[in-house]
Amino acid sequence: MSEAQATSNFIILVPSQDMCSDWTFSGEKGNFRPEAKPKEISDHPNAKFCWSNWCGAHTSSFSFHLIHSSGIKIRCKQFLYDLGPLSALDHAALYDYSPEKMSMFQIADNRVGWLGFDYRNKKACSFYSFGTNVELRVIEGNPSDLLMKELACSFVPYEFESLQGYPTFAQRSYWNRYSTYRYLNILTKYRPPSSLWKVRWPWFNGSHQWLSRDDHGIWENIFVSKMEALSDWSFNSICMLGNPRKPAEIQFLFYPSNGAMHFQLWIRVIDIDQFRPKVEGAQDVPLDSFSNYQPFDVTEWSNATTQFKAASRSAYGPHDVIFNRNNKIVLVHMNAGQCNTLEVMKKITDILTV
């Protein structure tokens, strides 16, 4: 596992020693999928189908099995979701089957996890911790919700004691290293969701460039300088899509300033003339759906200069706020957390618009 951690672009998590007393942990014999160049798949017989466009991507992941003393068997898969903003990134896998049965539970450090069912109608759990997506899927048996929650709450970094100096999102992103993978550029039938609002992935002529926090000129951006007033968040990376001289979209990623990386805050600035679907302004952008499921609450408010609309999955998030600013559509994404309330989002958007 140490070798896998040394070459992966995410932090590998394992159940704590206390939890392992009831589980047979196959982590040392787990399956590590190292990152590799995208493969050409145009001749693949299924290449015409939308999801097969992603088959050529060879992102890194780590998986292992956990066997409980009662015979229950669970598969754990971990990876870095680095395609870009997605406020529902910590539970997107649970929308494939009976999403109305999905429920949230609390984890330490203000984190949350999600219980539901995977595409096989098997009990599953997912959560986001230390910048890593973790999915737990039942292979054999029928564990109680309590057992699944206790297992999820026990996960800790395998060998990381401090995240100080950990590479930025831009440095870790697979899609930064392979930004010219051509299947990102020709997607027409299917574009992945990137918001609770209907803002699908806009690969503007395939040009997107990731930059880290120390790259020249980033700190001059007004959104970054305003966010410096919030001591809770620290700027990490930026992505520019489209023509670098006039980007169609700019994305700013912030992590909590305590360095734990349990949450993501994205600020996206999109040129309204290049926004898809074509709209007159932020107020016209419709809600999106995940596997035809759309349980999102909409809240509207305004300050002295700006009118805002927020889509929320629950009181703890995720929250997506959308508004107009200087002929741009601005989206602010925050994934779910015990302290990630709509009031926190209002505080952030107020700072961005004063």
- Judged against a pLDDT cut of 90, whether residue 55 lies above it is answered with no
Contact 301, 109 (CB under 8 A): no
123 and 205 belong to one structural domain: no
Of the residues 95, 129, 157, the one at which a domain ends: 157
* Number of domains comprising the chain: 2
77 and 144 belong to one structural domain: yes
142 and 184 belong to one structural domain: no
119 and 230 belong to one structural domain: no
* 118 within some domain: yes
Rounded-to-integer distance, Cα 162 and Cα 84, Å: 25
pLDDT at 50: 46
* 72 within some domain: yes
* 164 within some domain: no
Count the neighbouring beta carbons within 10 Å of the beta carbon of residue 103. 12
One-letter amino acid identity for 78? Q
289 and 207 belong to one structural domain: yes
Better-scored residue on pLDDT, 57 or 65: 65
23 pLDDT band, cuts 50/70/90, is confident
* 163 within some domain: no
Write out the two tokens for 40: 């050409």
Contact 113, 105 (CB under 8 A): yes
Determine the structural domain holding residue 72 and report its residue range. 2-157
Count the neighbouring beta carbons within 10 Å of the beta carbon of residue 170. 20
- Judged against a pLDDT cut of 50, whether residue 219 lies above it is answered with no
227 and 141 belong to one structural domain: no
- Judged against a pLDDT cut of 60, whether residue 252 lies above it is answered with yes
* pLDDT above 90 coverage of the chain, percent: 50
55 and 129 belong to one structural domain: yes
One-letter amino acid identity for 263? F
Write the pLDDT tens digit of every residue in 320-345. 999 998 889 999 999 999 999 999 99
* 345 within some domain: yes
51 pLDDT band, cuts 50/70/90, is very low
* pLDDT above 70 coverage of the chain, percent: 86
91 and 236 belong to one structural domain: no
pLDDT at 205: 55
181 and 141 belong to one structural domain: no
141 and 24 belong to one structural domain: yes
Helix (H, G, I), strand (E, B) or coil at 345: helix
Cis peptide before 277 (omega within 30 of 0): yes
